[in-house]
Amino acid sequence: MKLLKIILVLILFIALLMIAYLNQNEVTVGYYYGKTVEGVPLFIVIFAAILIGLIIAGLISASDLLRKNLTIRRLNQNIKTLEEEIQSLRRLQLAEGVETEPETPVDRDF
């Protein structure tokens, strides 16, 4: 697995070098209502666009992951509350002398 990771990183590095070598033309970048920067190599513009896309995708993914973790936490709290309620009802039944069924183990590894 480590060798595969090294090979993939090496291929990515070589691809980035090829993109940089083949796109050395200078371009003018317009970025804000008539503001421009002249003489920027094209490969820098390409890398900047890729980096901005990766950052936006990462932020979207992080917010989705956070939302899912909050949902999991809330559901686990609900499970704990319901299990406590079940235990209190079982104790109440035992105090009244009502027979109960044996508890079946719950598989919570999902």
Phi, psi of 10, rounded to the nearest 5 degrees:
-65, -45
pLDDT bucket at 103, cuts 50 / 70 / 90: low
pLDDT digits (tens, 9 = 90+) for 43-73: 899 899 999 999 999 999 999 999 999 999 9
Six-digit token pair at 9?
């990183």
pLDDT bucket at 108, cuts 50 / 70 / 90: low
What confidence score (pLDDT) does residue 34 get?
Answer: 81
Report pTM: 0.61
In 1-110, where does DSSP find H-type helix? 2-22, 42-96
Which residues on neighbouring strands pair with residue 27, listed in sequence order? 40
Q: How far apart are CA 26 and CA 36, in angstroms?
A: 13
Helices 2-22 and 42-96, packing angle to 10 deg: 150
Q: How far apart are CA 29 and CA 42, in angstroms?
A: 9
